[in-house]
Amino acid sequence: MEKRGSFASRFGVIAAMAGSAVGVGNIWKFPYMVGDNGGSAFIITYLLISLLITAPVLIAEMSLGRMGGQNVLGTFRTLAPKQKAWQGVGWLGLITAFVILSFYSVIAGWSLAFIKDSVIGSFAGKDVAQITADFNGFIASGWQPVAWAIFFLVLTCLIAGSGLQKGIERSSKLLMPLLAVLLIVLVVRSFFLSGFGESVNFLVKPDFSKITPNVMVAALGQSFFSLSVGMGTMLTYGSYVSKKESIVDVVTNVLIADVIIALLAGFAIFPAVFTFDINPTSGPDLVFLTLPSLFAQISGGQIMSILFFVLLFFAAITSAFSLLEVVVAYVTEELKLKRRAAVLVSFVGLAILATLCAMSQMPESALRLGSRNLFDTFDLVSSNVMLPLGGLLIVLFWAWKLPKKRVEEEITNNGTCSTKIFGVLYFLLRYIVPVALVIMFISLNS
């Protein structure tokens, strides 16, 4: 069997984990959810939930990976050797990684197509209606979104296939700072648009009447998705982290990066939206249909558009590495294949599923489950069922199945760090988080 990899440096760990967290969820989903759910009221709810619920789950998940030192399945087998049922959590994680990565590659593929369109200037002079018509044609062609999604998967597999340190860690260390720079350039440009002031009001001044139970549930689902929690990604990455690293410190850095990037994405996008008096509640269309038409009308817009979609691509590929790693770690360790062979096998499976997802969006496609096409079903089921369920099981395992002493030693590195915060963390994970997750699970699915 191949020697097990590990991350080489602290910055590498943070870049890879923040790379997983910062993704399409931050740049595409977060701004439209803010728009749909009442602006800053949603943001405040989101911040509180991320701090009190999601970050503790992330800490638990990462520490399980470091304790087990293996892929998701192997970790549960090692930590609960006599209770095979817990391996079900590992299987759930593997399936979720497959499901998310297949629709994720389709969205990432769009970002590549939009980079091409921005570079050749095909948005110039077009309004939302024309861009929507072009986009609908692109989706209806079937082969175009499929080709872009597969191209994205090829890039992801080529980089990840060259190794944990050489591929994933090295490229995350490069792409994450670049992503931050691109985003800051975009925010600075947006600062000079007339809608900047209004977007600051929208993003900063809270209207607490907007915080309803539904908004809280939406914020929790988004927070789980955004921090890549509940399916074994962070567990798998955690298994590559040195025993000397403070898990709480790493997670704090990842949380801060994730939140700041999501907020900056809002400040990059909303000024253009308000400058042209567009309703900020245009939902998923916001980034792919509304934004290009707005960029097309401002000076320097073509460059902004290129930078924006390059940024979206960087965000997507570093998240895709982490999803792929869940599968690759499983195939190398359980099925005993070499890394490159494992990546190839995973690629074939993912390419098939991503193709089905992209084709399911064609009009009249038969690839449906009930009233939804496969793409929407995968998106919905992963965020509303698989992640909260996986998160709940991970937390129950950590806080109720494992002895307190065991988890305390892992979080505090045998009493040398994070000793004060452990008590709070344990209380949250044992009582508050499971209850919150059960409530969320029931309300999301009823």
Binding to ligand PFF (CB under 6 A): which residues in 229-248? 231, 233
Name which of 21 and 440 has its Cβ closer to ligand PFF: 21
Contact between 228 and ligand PFF (CB under 6 A)?
A: yes
Q: Would you give the DSSP letter of residue 299?
A: T
Whichever of 115 and 317 has its CB closer to ligand PFF, that residue is 317
CA distance 122 to 297: 13
| Nearest distance, CB of residue 253 and ligand PFF, angstroms | 15
Q: Does 222 participate in binding ligand PFF (rule CB under 6 A)?
A: no
H or E segment and range at residue 74 = helix 72-79
Residue number, 308 or 422, with CB nearest to ligand PFF: 308
DSSP characters for 86-102? GHHHHHHHHHHHHHHHH
H/E run at residue 368 = strand 368-369
Output the CA torsion sign for 171, 173, 176, 177. Answer: negative
Q: Report which secondary-structure segment, H or E, holds 353.
A: helix 339-359
Q: Which of 226, 293, 305, 412 forms a contact with ligand PFF (CB under 6 A)?
A: 226
How many whole angstroms separate alpha carbon 203 and alpha carbon 407? 38
Six-digit token pair at 189? 């440009």
Single out the segment in contact with ligand PFF by CB under 6 A; choices: 19-27, 56-64, 117-125, 180-188: 19-27
Q: Which of 5, 12, 19, 23 binds ligand PFF (CB under 6 A)?
A: 23
Nearer to ligand PFF, 28 or 267 (CB): 28
Per-residue exposure over 118-140, b if at least 16 CB sit within 10 Å of its own CB, e if not: beeeebeebebeebbebbeebbe
Exactly one of 24, 43, 272, 317 binds ligand PFF (CB under 6 A); that residue is 24
DSSP 189-256: HHHTSTTHHHHHHHHHS--GGG--HHHHHHHHHHHHHHTT-SSSHHHHHHTTS-TTS-HHHHHHHHHH
21 in contact with ligand PFF (CB under 6 A): yes
- DSSP, residue by residue, 113-126: HHHHHHHTTTTTT-
State which amino acid sits at residue 142: G
- Taking contact as CB under 6 A, which single stretch among the options 223-231, 358-366, 372-380, 436-444 is the one that binds ligand PFF? 223-231
Q: Quote the least distance from Cβ 63 to ligand PFF, whole Å.
A: 17
**Contacts of ligand PFF in 193-212 (CB under 6 A):** none
Binding characters for ligand PFF, 267-306, by CB under 6 A (x = yes): ----------------------------------------
* 3-state SS, residue 418: coil
Q: Which of 273, 323, 327, 354 binds ligand PFF (CB under 6 A)?
A: 323
183 binds ligand PFF (CB under 6 A): no
Q: Look at phi and psi of residue 413 and say left if phi exceeds 0, alpha if psi is from -120 to 50, else beta.
A: left
Tell me whether residue 213 is exposed, middle or buried, using C-beta atoms within 10 angstroms of its C-beta: 0 to 12, 13 to 18, 19 or more: exposed
Q: How far apart, in whole angstroms, are the C-alpha atoms of residue 233 and residue 125?
A: 42
Query: How many residues of this chain bind ligand PFF (CB under 6 A)?
Result: 15
Q: Which CB atom, from 257 or from 298, has the smaller least distance to ligand PFF?
A: 257
Residue type at position 378: F
Based on the shown chain and the rule CB under 6 A, indicate whether residue 319 belongs to the binding site for ligand PFF: yes
The smaller minimum CB distance to ligand PFF, of residues 25 and 145, is found at 25
Give the range of 22-30, 79-87, 291-299, 345-353 binding ligand PFF by CB under 6 A: 22-30
The residue within the footprint of ligand PFF, chosen from 42, 86, 225, 441 (CB under 6 A), is 225
For residues 182 and 188, the answer to whether their CB atoms sit within 8 Å is no
Q: How far is the CB of 279 from ligand PFF (least distance, A)?
A: 24
CA distance 295 to 290: 9
* Residue closer to ligand PFF, measured from CB, 40 or 319: 319
**Per-residue DSSP letter, 373:** E
Are the beta carbons of 116 and 159 closer than 8 angstroms? no
Token pair belonging to 226: 């955004």
Q: Does 261 bind ligand PFF (CB under 6 A)?
A: no
Asked whether position 322 contacts ligand PFF by CB under 6 A, the answer is yes
Give me the least distance between CB of 217 and ligand PFF, in Å please.
18
By CB under 6 A, residue 45 contacts ligand PFF: no
Q: How far is the CB of 24 from ligand PFF (least distance, A)?
A: 4
Choose between 206 and 284: whose C-beta lies nearer to ligand PFF. Answer: 284
Nearer to ligand PFF, 261 or 342 (CB): 261
Site for ligand PFF in 92-131 (CB under 6 A): 100
Nearer to ligand PFF, 43 or 231 (CB): 231
The residue ranges that bind ligand PFF (CB under 6 A) are 20-21, 23-26, 100, 225-226, 228, 231, 233, 319, 322-323
